[in-house]
Chains A and B, each alone.
Chain A
Amino acid sequence: MISLFYENLKISLVAVFANKTKSLLTALGIIIGVLSVTLMGTLISGLDRSFESSMSWLGKDVLYVSRYEWFSDMEWWEVKNRPRMRSEYVDKIKNLSKYALAVSPVMQRTASLSYADKETRTEIFGTNEEYMETISTDLDLGRFFSLSEDRNGSRVTIIGYGLKEAFFGSDNPIGKYIKIDNIKFRVIGVLEKQGKFLGLFSVDNQAILPLGAYNRIFSKRGWMRLSVKVPEQKIEDGHDEITGIMRQIRGLKPSEKSDFAINKTKAFEAQYNKLKLAIGGTGYFITLLSLIVGGIGIMNIMFVTVKERTREIGVRKAIGATNGMILSQFLMEAVTICFFAGLIGLLLAYIISLFINQVFPSTLPLGLSLFSIFISMLVGILSGIIPAYKASKLDPIDALRYE
């Protein structure tokens, strides 16, 4: 049976390569199908990866308390009318909460940063000494500021890895002074490299200051959120508890609605899953459609092939080919076309994924590549089976007489 397999493979290869243009046109639907499924998979895997790392940057065990609820359709004026977060809440939450492991207020604005003759505009953050516990990024160099540095308004800063590269290159920035809106700050630490948030904007160019200094130099008023770290498995309990504490702080009656929002990275996940479903759904639809069209094309060309080679089928039967042997020969031919179609689709997808990778980190997943080859061969079997069956059932006498 192995020699029959090789024989069939040889016949198929000869048939496919003897008519390259015909085979290529026949296989176009499958090529497009495989291309769309693998490209979509590449895109989603890239999205997954950047989403995963972005989410770990946010932290799955952190509650974000602010006026604004993520992905809600609240009117902006409604948000604006809510009372601001205040840094006094930090101590209150710490005192009342049994889940809170770290609480830090975060204020944010853009500022102009400079060192020597280099200058850039970037985000600066004002926060307290517990901030590092609410993010999952570590320090690359130096140290974070202390409670007393925050209290006495020390002008120290921790800069992102990108900022360090831009300002200091490979030099050690620790102890050097940079200017933030023309006020000198001493660099005491550098965050490790983080990459782009959701693949969109870099978070490596930030500078972190103690809230004490931030408030004095920039503004006490401004947008603030609180980051509350809780044990990961207690995120729901923590959510309920912090809601209660916030309502207590705000002095809300049971009948009143909350005038703040507690956000979790889950909200991002839900949103992200919707996006993924949309991309995936569209991709699968295109894939399915082109595979069906491609499969019909293969079936059609196989019917033509069987017709063209009726006499050959007669000869083969006369010299001893059984129905099964003829069936496997034509089935193999359909599968071979589809296999090469899958391979071409995959190759194109790989080339395109290299371009995508330039703008968006992504790789062609190996499992999906194998799967797409498997799928195209399956299409070959499904679309080849009827023509092959027809070939196998030909009467050898009629087939030999066929002109």
Chain B
Amino acid sequence: MKLIGLKDIYKIYNVGGEEVRALDGVDLKINNNEYMAIMGPSGSGKSTMMNMIGCLDSPSSGLYEFEGEKVHIMDDGQLASIRNRKIGFVFQTFNLLPKASALHNVEIPLVYANIKKEKRLKMASDALISVGLEDRMHHRPNELSGGQRQRVAIARALVNNPSIILADEPTGNLDSKSGHEIMKIFDELHRNGNTIILVTHEDDIAKYSNRIVRLLDGKIVKDEIVVKN
């Protein structure tokens, strides 16, 4: 079932009078329960692509449909709402709030979704349990290891039952052991029916996915299915 449809997407910046085409006519379909990696060297447009899919950015031209909703005509408020309801972000630098406990960090998207306190706490602690942090709920980020912080971030991304989880170099700041642990969590999320989009430049990490889309100079140059042995 089609989840995301990008059609003829352009993102054009004007840098010092010079036109930069960060995305140069991109067509892409993403189905439900796909596990996709977006790869490319820096400057290839993969960050812009991720921002576009994550509804943080609007295209200069082109059509973007997300579960039938026309994202390309949405205003700031509608974009915030779709990010809140349908997208879970996992960042390279975790981006947790340093003064809040793990539980509270996971709770924040639910605050913005206007969910009641008791339900919020239940959902947030369930999410933390699902990433194996049941005994770290009241710790602050600086009391957690890098791998644990990223798991808190994953719990935060999961808590709203989003349609996609968008992970931007999720293992970039982790040692390889914790990195692979994090990837195992994504694997499991995928098995449970989640749609996952991974942005990475590491082949090792991209191999976890089922489909790799390669970008260069704002264009999709390769879209391949990963054959697992």
Note all chain B residues with C-beta closer than 8 A to A322: 76-77, 80-81, 112
Q: Of A1, A314, A320, A323, which is within 8 A of B109 by CB?
A: A320
Q: Do the beta carbons of A400 and B112 come within 8 Å of each other?
A: no
Note all chain B residues with C-beta closer than 8 A to A18: 99
Q: Does B213 sit at the interface, judged by CB under 8 A? A: no
Contact mask A281-321 → B, CB, 8 Å, 1/0? 00000000000000000000000000000011011111111
A388 to chain B, nearest CB (A): 16
Q: Do the beta carbons of B80 and A4 come within 8 Å of each other?
A: no
Q: Do the beta carbons of B84 and A323 come within 8 Å of each other?
A: no
CA gap between A323 and B83 in the complex, in Å: 13
CA gap between A97 and B112 in the complex, in Å: 81
Q: Does A217 sit at the interface, judged by CB under 8 A? A: no
Q: Does A152 sit at the interface, judged by CB under 8 A? A: no
Q: Do the beta carbons of A318 and B56 come within 8 Å of each other?
A: yes
Q: Does B32 sit at the interface, judged by CB under 8 A? A: no
A399 to chain B, nearest CB (A): 10
Which of under 10, 10 to 19, 20 to 34, or 35 or more describes the interface residues of B?
20 to 34
Note all chain A residues with C-beta closer than 8 A to B83: 317-320
Q: Does B46 sit at the interface, judged by CB under 8 A? A: no
Q: Does A59 sit at the interface, judged by CB under 8 A? A: no
Q: Does A153 sit at the interface, judged by CB under 8 A? A: no
* A7, A18, A312, A324 interface centre (most CB from chain B within 10 Å): A7
Q: Do the beta carbons of A325 and B99 come within 8 Å of each other?
A: no
Q: Do the beta carbons of A3 and B111 come within 8 Å of each other?
A: yes
Q: Does B85 sit at the interface, judged by CB under 8 A? A: yes
B9 to chain A, nearest CB (A): 16
A340 to chain B, nearest CB (A): 18
| Chain B 36-92 interface residues, beta-carbon cutoff 8 Å to A | 51, 54, 56-57, 76-77, 80-81, 83-85, 89, 91
Contact mask B91-115 → A, CB, 8 Å, 1/0? 1000101010000000011011111
A254 to chain B, nearest CB (A): 83
CA gap between A14 and B57 in the complex, in Å: 31
Q: Do the beta carbons of B91 and A321 come within 8 Å of each other?
A: no
Q: Do the beta carbons of A325 and B112 come within 8 Å of each other?
A: yes
Q: Do the beta carbons of A319 and B156 come within 8 Å of each other?
A: yes
Which of under 10, 10 to 19, 20 to 34, or 35 or more describes the interface residues of A?
20 to 34
Q: Do the beta carbons of A4 and B114 come within 8 Å of each other?
A: yes
| Chain A 1-22 interface residues, beta-carbon cutoff 8 Å to B | 1, 3-4, 7, 14, 18
Note all chain B residues with C-beta closer than 8 A to A25: none
CA gap between A182 and B80 in the complex, in Å: 95
CA gap between A321 and B54 in the complex, in Å: 14
Closest B residue to A399 using CB positions: B56
Q: Does B117 sit at the interface, judged by CB under 8 A? A: yes
Q: Do the beta carbons of B99 and A319 come within 8 Å of each other?
A: no
Closest A residue to B104 using CB positions: A10
CA gap between A400 and B168 in the complex, in Å: 12
Q: Do the beta carbons of B95 and A320 come within 8 Å of each other?
A: no
A306 to chain B, nearest CB (A): 15
Closest A residue to B112 using CB positions: A320
Closest B residue to A392 using CB positions: B76
CA gap between A223 and B113 in the complex, in Å: 84
B126 to chain A, nearest CB (A): 17
CA gap between A92 and B113 in the complex, in Å: 89
A317 to chain B, nearest CB (A): 7
Given contacts A319-B109, A319-B156, A321-B112, contact A397 B77 (CB under 8 A): no
B68 to chain A, nearest CB (A): 20
B137 to chain A, nearest CB (A): 17
B69 to chain A, nearest CB (A): 15
CA gap between A324 and B95 in the complex, in Å: 21
Q: Does A195 sit at the interface, judged by CB under 8 A? A: no
Q: Do the beta carbons of A3 and B84 come within 8 Å of each other?
A: no
CA gap between A319 and B107 in the complex, in Å: 11
Note all chain A residues with C-beta closer than 8 A to B109: 319-320
Given contacts A3-B115, A322-B77, A397-B51, contact A312 B108 (CB under 8 A): no
Q: Do the beta carbons of A397 and B112 come within 8 Å of each other?
A: no
Q: Does A396 sit at the interface, judged by CB under 8 A? A: yes
A124 to chain B, nearest CB (A): 74
CA gap between A316 and B156 in the complex, in Å: 11
| Chain A 383-399 interface residues, beta-carbon cutoff 8 Å to B | 396-397
CA gap between A321 and B112 in the complex, in Å: 6
Note all chain A residues with C-beta closer than 8 A to B81: 320, 322
Q: Does B177 sit at the interface, judged by CB under 8 A? A: no
CA gap between A396 and B76 in the complex, in Å: 10
Note all chain B residues with C-beta closer than 8 A to A1: 114
Closest A residue to B54 using CB positions: A318
B160 to chain A, nearest CB (A): 8
Given contacts A14-B99, A400-B91, contact A316 B108 (CB under 8 A): yes
Contact mask A325-358 → B, CB, 8 Å, 1/0? 1000000000000000000000000000000000
Given contacts A318-B56, A397-B56, contact A323 B114 (CB under 8 A): no
Note all chain B residues with C-beta closer than 8 A to A318: 54, 56, 83, 89, 95
CA gap between A18 and B57 in the complex, in Å: 34
B163 to chain A, nearest CB (A): 13
CA gap between A100 and B203 in the complex, in Å: 110
Q: Does B149 sit at the interface, judged by CB under 8 A? A: no
CA gap between A322 and B85 in the complex, in Å: 12
Note all chain A residues with C-beta closer than 8 A to B112: 4, 316, 319-322, 325
Ordered by A's residue number, 24 sampled pairs between the chains whose C-beta atoms are within 8 Å are A1-B114, A3-B114, A3-B116, A3-B117, A4-B114, A7-B111, A14-B99, A311-B95, A315-B91, A315-B97, A316-B108, A318-B89, A319-B84, A319-B108, A319-B109, A320-B83, A320-B112, A322-B77, A322-B81, A322-B112, A325-B112, A397-B56, A397-B57, A400-B91
